[in-house]
């Protein structure tokens, strides 16, 4: 997979798994790293699917309607890639924290639906990737969700549903709302940075 990797600057500092939104690239979210934790490293991945020339992590059938077969395939590939990178780049999976935005947040959530890989996650403007599935035990897992109260792409009900699904699996979920739409805004990033150090 096309990616960028930077090791952590301090032992035990996180490796952020950066997952961009539709039309983004592996460059998009690197600026968030220093804002979230200046000592962190990152593994930033480009989605393997293109939609009208725009990179994505999995196919969709329409706006907000996911191709679940492709989602399952791409999720499995991304999980295996992260595991392989942890071996070859010599970092612990326990130090990996996904930071996903929009389409990237959706595949990050779906990775967590499949396996208990991560102990923490930052999901920015996610939707529910799949419904009617049983999640792995997520007790002691911490999840930050950044959502926009006026988000036209990701309705508030999606945020509330995803929070409930994770909580039913035992996760501790913190939702921070902004009075904005689907864009990333600094107050949300600052809230995520504060949330990270509350552990």
**Total residues found in the chain within this entry:** 199
* Alpha-carbon dihedral 194, 176, 78, 19, rounded to 10 degrees: -80
Catalytic positions, written as ranges = 102, 151, 182
Helix (H) or strand (E) holding 136: none
- How does DSSP classify residue 134? P
Helix (H, G, I), strand (E, B) or coil at 65: strand
Q: How many CB atoms lie within 10 A of CB 29?
A: 24
Q: Within 13 Å, how many C-alpha atoms sit on residue 25's CB side?
A: 4
Q: Compute the distance between CA of residue 170 and CA of residue 152 in angstroms, rounded to an integer.
A: 29
Which residues neighbour 81 within 8 Å (Cβ) at sequence distance 6 or greater? Answer: 1, 3, 45
């Amino acid at each position: 997979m096309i990616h960028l990797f930077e090791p952590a600057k301090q032992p035990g500092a996180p490796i952020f798994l950066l997952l961009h939104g539709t039309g983004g690239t592996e460059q998009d979210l690197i600026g968030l790293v220093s804002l979230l934790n200046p000592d962190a490293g990152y593994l930033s991945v480009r989605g393997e699917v293109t939609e009208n020339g725009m990179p994505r992590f999995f196919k969709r059938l329409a706006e907000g309607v996911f191709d679940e077969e492709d989602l399952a395939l791409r999720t499995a590939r991304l999980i295996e890639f992260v595991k392989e990178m942890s071996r070859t780049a010599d970092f612990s999976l326990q130090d990996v924290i996904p930071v996903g935005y929009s389409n990237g947040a959706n595949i990050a959530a779906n990775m967590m639906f499949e396996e208990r890989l991560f102990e923490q996650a930052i999901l920015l403007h996610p939707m529910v990737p799949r419904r009617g599935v049983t999640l792995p035990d997520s007790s002691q897992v911490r999840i930050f969700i950044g959502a926009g109260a006026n988000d036209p792409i990701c309705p508030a009900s999606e945020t509330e549903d995803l929070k409930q699904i994770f909580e039913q699996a035992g996760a501790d979920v913190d939702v921070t709302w902004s009075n904005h739409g689907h864009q990333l805004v600094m107050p949300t990033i600052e809230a995520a940075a504060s949330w990270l150090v509350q552990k």
